[in-house]
Amino acid sequence: DRSIKIAPSILAADFANFGQEIEAVEAQGADWIHVDVMDGHFVPNITFGPDMCKAIRPHIKTIMDVHLMIAPVDPYIDAFAEAGADFITAHLEAGPHIHRTLQAIRGAGAKAGLALNPGTPVEGIGSLLDMVDLVCIMTVNPGFGGQKFIQSQIEKVRTLRSMIGDRPIHIEIDGGVDPTTAPLVTAAGADVLVAGSAVFKGGSVRNPAPYGDNIAAI
Ligand code: DX5
Ligand code: ZN
């Protein structure tokens, strides 16, 4: 399914009200819910783990898209799968054994995602494409919401789209997606757009009205 899907990142939501925040954005048309897991080691920020994913899962009617910015990854895959993750995305840069990690994700019953930092070339992942359901091109350096979109990554999206051919692999864009940058990446071949600050805009469920406009605007 190559239709464009918007995946609000709850990194920009009200951390004291994830359940209601998720229900609010789904009511306004969110296609997937993007969950940013950070460990203070692979990235310089800490968010939450599998227990939090399990707690929010009943509030998600769509797809739980879990982005692991952690190293090591392998010891935690089963816990995130058991927490109800539909997609589990690991970083190529998170360790020396990405092939094993991707095998383990599918082995745990989840769809496998492969994320690439802005400094990582896409040309090397050809031998992994039969093992993944999603490739995430980071358009910011991972760790924080609200950063500026890195234009140089658009060419990687175009390259990846031609490498994928007719395989059913999603191309996800993560970082700095807003109404200005979204058309650039969809034109290059992306179909899943993660958006944190552009959706939540520092709001909360106490002020849900803007969410629908924000999602529609992307
Ligand atoms: C960054 C995270 C992103 C982040 C995007 O490390 O992976 O998912 O929430 O936030 P915005 O849309 O604000 O750039
Ligand atoms: Zn993310």
Shortest-distance Cα residue to atom 4 of ligand 1: 145
Cβ of 147 below 6 Å from ligand 1: yes
Cβ of 8 below 6 Å from ligand 1: no
11, 64, 70, 141: residue to mutate for ligand 1 pocket, most atoms within 8 A of CB: 11
Cβ of 105 below 6 Å from ligand 1: no
51 catalytic residue (yes or no):
no
Tens of pLDDT along 55-88?
Answer: 999 999 999 999 999 999 999 999 999 999 999 9
ipTM value greater than 0.90: yes
Per-residue confidence at 206, pLDDT binned at 50, 70, 90?
Answer: very low
Cβ of 174 below 6 Å from ligand 1: yes
Cβ of 139 below 6 Å from ligand 1: no
pTM: 0.96
Show Cβ contacts of residue 48 under 8 Å, excluding neighbours closer than 6 positions: 37
Active-site residue, selected from the candidate residues 65, 133, 174, 191 = 174
166 catalytic residue (yes or no):
no
Q: Distance, CA 14 to ligand 2 centroid (Å)?
A: 16
What single letter denotes the amino acid at residue 25? Answer: V
Tens of pLDDT along 115-134?
Answer: 999 999 999 999 999 999 99
Per-residue confidence at 207, pLDDT binned at 50, 70, 90?
Answer: low
Show Cβ contacts of residue 56 under 8 Å, excluding neighbours closer than 6 positions: 10, 18, 19, 22, 33, 35, 64
What confidence score (pLDDT) does residue 175 get?
98
Write down the CATH number for the domain with range 5-217: 3.20.20.70
What confidence score (pLDDT) does residue 203 get?
64
pLDDT of 18 over the 50 cut? yes
Active-site residue, selected from the candidate residues 31, 36, 39, 133 = 36
What confidence score (pLDDT) does residue 2 get?
77
Tokens of 163: 């490498």
Q: Which residue has the tokens 């509030």?
A: 59
What confidence score (pLDDT) does residue 24 get?
92
Q: Distance, CA 36 to ligand 2 centroid (Å)?
A: 5
136, 173, 197: residue to mutate for ligand 1 pocket, most atoms within 8 A of CB: 197
Q: Where are the domains of the chain?
A: 5-217
pLDDT of 195 over the 70 cut? yes
Reference 88, options 96, 98, 190, 176; nearest CA is 98
- Please give the order of strands across the beta sheet that includes 87-91: 5-8, 192-195, 170-174, 134-138, 111-116, 87-91, 64-69, 33-38
Q: Is 32 helix (H, G, I), strand (E, B) or coil?
A: coil
What confidence score (pLDDT) does residue 66 get?
99
